[in-house]
Structure formats: C-alpha cells, structure tokens
Amino acid sequence: MRPGRPGIDRPGDPRDRRGGPGGPCRPAQPLPPGRPRALELGDGGRPAHRPLRPVGVRPATRAGIGDDRVSEVRRRRAVVLVANDAAPYSRGLRIARTLTDLGFAVEIAAVGAPGLPREERDGDIVIRRYEPLGPWASWATGRARSRDPRRLVELAVKGLFWPVHVRGWWLALRRQLAPADLYHACGILAIPIALRLGAAARTDGRAGRVVYDVIDIVLESNSYPGLRGPLLAWHRRRERRWAESSDAIVAVNAAIAERVTERWRPVRPVTVLPNGQEARPVPAERPNLIRAATGLPPERSIVLFLGRLGPERGLDEAAEAVLRLPDAALVVIGFGPWADRLRARDAEPRFAGRHVTLPAVHPDQVQAWAASADVSIIAVPAASLNQRLSTPNKFWESLSGGTPVVVGRDLEVMRRIVEADDLGAVADPNDPADLARALAGILDRPPAAAAALRDRCARVSRETFAWEVVDRDYRALVGALVPAVGPVAGPTTLAPSGERG
C-alpha cells in the first residue's frame, strides 16, 4: 500500500515477473513500432502509474480507438479467495453475500478436496473448488512425494517456499480463474495469489482491486512451529510487502487491526470487519435440535463446543470439567483431525451419556443449534498472540443464539466483550475444576436470571455485532475501491490513479 516500493520478494513471490515455483509469468507481448512500452512491475527509475478505468467498461480495442462506438457495460465481478475447501467457510460466505447485495457477480474460489463437488451454489454465489496443479500439487496434503528420504530437505523446502501446501492451488487459479474487479483474500495464504491475479485482471480491463483480509495473525501463532528466527523474520517482511501492495486491508477485530497498523503502518486505515452473524429472529421457544439428535434427557444440561476439532482447543479439559458437574453433557459439533478420537470417547464408560460428538452443520443452521445449548465453552489456551486476540465464529454464533459463553481467561478480546455486558464467565482453560466452577455459575442460575442472561446475549449480538451492523464500513470500502457505473457512451478518458508499489 505504500507508493514507490516495488515489493518484489524472491523468485516465486507472486509479484515477481521472473517466475517461481508455480511457473513463470507470461512474457510481455511486443507492441507495434512507434507505440510506447507499457510500464511493468519491477521497472526502476520512474513511478508506476496504473490507469483507472470505470468498472464495467471494456477497454477499447486497437481497432476501436477513436471510434464513437458505445462501450459495452458488464457486471462487476468479485472473487473471494479461500485457502480451504469452503465446505462451507462461514466468513467467506457472509462476505460473498454482502458483495452480491452490492451488485457483484461473486465467486468463492476454494481448494479442491476429495468427496466435494467441483462447483456449488449459494443463491447467486458460485462456490468453485480448484484442484492443485503442477509440481507443488503433491504438497497440498501436507506431505511431499519426494524421493529424497532426508527429512531435513523436506523441512528446508517447507521453510523457504512457505506456504508450499497452497502453491499448487495458486497455479490452478492463475490458469483457470476468470479475471475480476475485486479480489477479497481471506488470510495470508490467499493474499499472494490475489496480488498476481489482480495484476493480470487489470491487463484484461478489469479493476483488479485487492483486499487483504487479516483473519488471523498466522506468523504470530503456533500454527507453523518450523518458522523461527531469521526465517520467520523474512516471512514477516514478505507479508508486510504483500499488505503494502494491497489496495486495502480488512481485519477481523479492532485488536488485530491495531496490531497490523502498528507493524505495517498502512496508508489507508484498516477496516474492521468482525465475524458477526447474520441477524435471524430468535424463536420464542428455544430450539431443541441437540436433544433431538442425541437423545439426552431434558434434565441434563448441555455444554456446547463448536468448531474445529483438534489439539490445543481445550477439548480434553472441557470433557473433564463437565464430568465434575452433577448432570451435564459436553456436546461437540464440528470437524477436524480429532473427530474420530472424540467419537471414540463418546463410547468410553466414564463418558457415556456425558460426551456426544456430532458432525458440523451449515453456517445458516449454527445459530439454532447453539440456541439449543445451555452454555457454550471456548476453553482455548492462549499459547500465542494470535489466540489471545482471536474472536472466532463460535463465539459470535453462540451469542447470536442467546447462549452464554465460558471463555479462557487469557483470551483478551473475548474476555473484554463477555465482562463488559455480563455475557457469561471467565475461567482458567487448563484447569477442569475452574472450568466446572464457571459452567456451574451459569447453569445454576434461577430460571428468571438464566432467561435474562440469554436475552442479553441475543440483544447485544443483534444490536452491536450482527453482520448487517458490522459490514457497513466494508460496504463503503468496496464502493470506494470499485464504484458502480452505468452505461458510458463513446471513448473513455483514462486518468492515472496514482503510484502503486
């Protein structure tokens, strides 16, 4: 986002015209004699100006320059880039729906996965999955098919060419994805390819604007323990250059927005777009979906865990905490590598009837399932800055259903929200006894106090954090980046939009 900086990284960087692991960029085509050469990324010694073309107006062909023909108008197109299988990805789906409401033709471009269709639809939104291609495709599952048995070689490749597991997806997008006016990159795994796609789209007459959505601060997390020291510092510099080259930055909450502003000092203020849930009326009578699916008796309290099932999610501690309550069950709804392990726990004698694992449900249905629970637990240990500043979907999904939450004491942002309006309780996520204390403090409330708590959770969610409330700044941002235009008659005068690094 800073002018005057080319932002080129090493070979393989998405903006490096020398090419990279995914294959070289197409060489510039020679122009007829007498016409000036177009400025290319990486040129030095003069500023890089990008012409601004009204969105929806096709560029004039060489034969049509100077003609008085009416320019053809086409619908603005947006692509939400999601570096997972989007089966589904709730934040990406909400963003896509907002863009559709703004008049865009929208595609969610996700990663192909076994057992999932190549293409699906959510209303007017196309969800298309792209199978990884090229030499990096074998890394998409996290394991290389290298003939070299040395583990150090694999670790070196993963470190130097991180993120290797999405580079095959990047190549598929470059070859198969149609150009767009707006690329919304969900996270660090999507922003490098978004920048390359945006540059290509501009040569095709599209606006090619790029929004970097900082859904988490991955390089300040424990997700990639192999990235340390100088290697980690180098990748952080790469991310900063990607952010600087974006047209705008969006962050999932104000705390992360402050963090990236401090580190990157972007020209344009960071737009905060929380994971608020789409407002849906809460029925007068609470849904009973969980009891219907599990057969749990009506007198047994339901403690709900939503989301990804894996290590460092507090699942073991939550299970032990529920056993300390007189009559409660932990119901787990989600997906992930621990799904089979948790289903096996369901059958263990000491957890029988006190631990139930259910498959994930569609984002549009989560609110009703959350409303079926008595309390939701987010006992994630704050092992990194990324976790301390997180506000995951499960937090907002629970509140939108009127379900109070118990959160880990070091989850700074969620703790502030919970304590500000008394939306639940706080506990030590590593101590099952303390978690049980916090859960009992909610479950043991008299009926009138419990009903008031649920009403407060739903009201705060609806009035302050509903998607229709929190997406207003994002709508204004998109309107400024890719303004809608009507039919334009005759040739269009193009004005420079300023420098772009």
Are 314 and 130 in contact, with CB atoms under 8 Å apart? no
Quote the mean pLDDT of the chain.
82
Per-residue model confidence as pLDDT tens digits over 233-264: 888 899 999 999 999 999 999 999 999 999 99
Whole-angstrom distance, CA of residue 301 vs CA of residue 444 = 10
Lowest mean pLDDT among 20-29, 185-194, 366-375, 443-452: 20-29
pLDDT at 232 over 60: yes
Return the pLDDT at 292.
96
Return the pLDDT at 157.
72
Return the pLDDT at 149.
53
Q: Taking residues 98-105, report their average pLDDT.
A: 97
Q: Indicate the pLDDT class of residue 435, thresholds 50, 70 and 90.
A: very high
Whole-angstrom distance, CA of residue 432 vs CA of residue 319 = 8
pLDDT at 225 over 80: no
Return the pLDDT at 154.
67
Question: CB 177: neighbour CB atoms within 10 A?
Answer: 19
Q: Taking residues 297-321, report their average pLDDT.
A: 95
pLDDT at 396 over 70: yes
Q: Taking residues 121-131, report their average pLDDT.
A: 96
pLDDT at 372 over 50: yes
Q: Indicate the pLDDT class of residue 164, thresholds 50, 70 and 90.
A: confident
Return the pLDDT at 61.
37
Structure tokens, 229: 């020291």
Q: Taking residues 118-142, report their average pLDDT.
A: 90
Instruction: Name the DSSP class of 32.
Output: P
Whole-angstrom distance, CA of residue 20 vs CA of residue 237 = 18
CA nearest to 474, candidates 287, 273, 299, 338? 273
CA nearest to 189, candidates 146, 140, 120? 140
**β-strand partners of 213:** 186, 250
Name the percent of the chain in helix, strand, coil, to the closest 5: 35, 15, 45
Which domains are delineated in the chain? Answer: 74-276+476-484 (3.40.50.2000), 289-465 (3.40.50.2000)
Whole-angstrom distance, CA of residue 363 vs CA of residue 109 = 18
Are 414 and 395 in contact, with CB atoms under 8 Å apart? yes
Q: Taking residues 9-20, report their average pLDDT.
A: 41
Return the pLDDT at 152.
67
Whole-angstrom distance, CA of residue 311 vs CA of residue 297 = 30
Per-residue model confidence as pLDDT tens digits over 271-285: 999 999 998 876 778
Q: Indicate the pLDDT class of residue 73, thresholds 50, 70 and 90.
A: low
CA nearest to 490, candidates 157, 69, 99? 69
Return the pLDDT at 228.
67
pLDDT at 34 over 70: no
pLDDT at 359 over 60: yes
Q: Indicate the pLDDT class of residue 59, thresholds 50, 70 and 90.
A: very low
Share of the chain above pLDDT 70, in %: 77
Return the pLDDT at 18.
39
pTM (2 d.p.): 0.79
pLDDT at 147 over 60: no
pLDDT at 37 over 80: no
Are 380 and 350 in contact, with CB atoms under 8 Å apart? no
Please state the three-class secondary structure of 263-311 as a single string.
Answer: HHCCCCCCEECCCCCCCCCCCCCCCCHHHHHHCCCCCCEEEEEEEECCC
Q: Taking residues 454-479, report their average pLDDT.
A: 96
Owner of token pair 């990607």: 242
Q: Which amino acid is at 88?
A: P
Are 318 and 377 in contact, with CB atoms under 8 Å apart? yes
CA nearest to 273, candidates 214, 218, 220, 217? 214
Return the pLDDT at 382.
83
Are 218 and 115 in contact, with CB atoms under 8 Å apart? no
CA nearest to 414, candidates 386, 392, 383? 392
CA nearest to 52, candidates 249, 271, 202? 202
